[in-house]
Amino acid sequence: MCNSVIHQGRHYDTSRQLAALLGGCDKLVWEAANPFKRVANGRDWRDLDLCLCAIDLPATLAKADLKWRLGADPMEHFIEG
């Protein structure tokens, strides 16, 4: 399972989806290094349609000034409010 952001019952599972929620790709904070061992089909690890594992979610959500909490599953990030 990969990271997800949940807001008002909707799951955001890709960088593209999260960028749309936050108002643009410039709102994303990428991890400093490639978190994937292999990226399928030779895709760039910062491809917006891959999972959120390449995004530093705590830093991204803080940059967006959002209040959030981890779920029972530590890969679930719930935006509060």
DSSP string, 15-44: HHHHHHHHTSGGG--B-SS---S--GGG--
What pLDDT score does 39 carry? Answer: 62
pTM: 0.88
- Listed by start position, the domains of the chain span 4-35+52-79
CA dihedral 32, 34, 36, 39 (to 10 degrees): 140
pLDDT digits (tens, 9 = 90+) for 11-22: 999 999 999 999
> For 36-74, how does the pLDDT look when each residue is reduced to its tens digit (9 = 90+)?
776 666 678 888 998 999 999 999 999 999 999 999 999
Q: Tell me the pLDDT band of 34, cut-offs 50, 70 and 90.
A: confident
61-73: burial string, b at 16+ Cβ within 10 Å, e else: beebebebeeeee
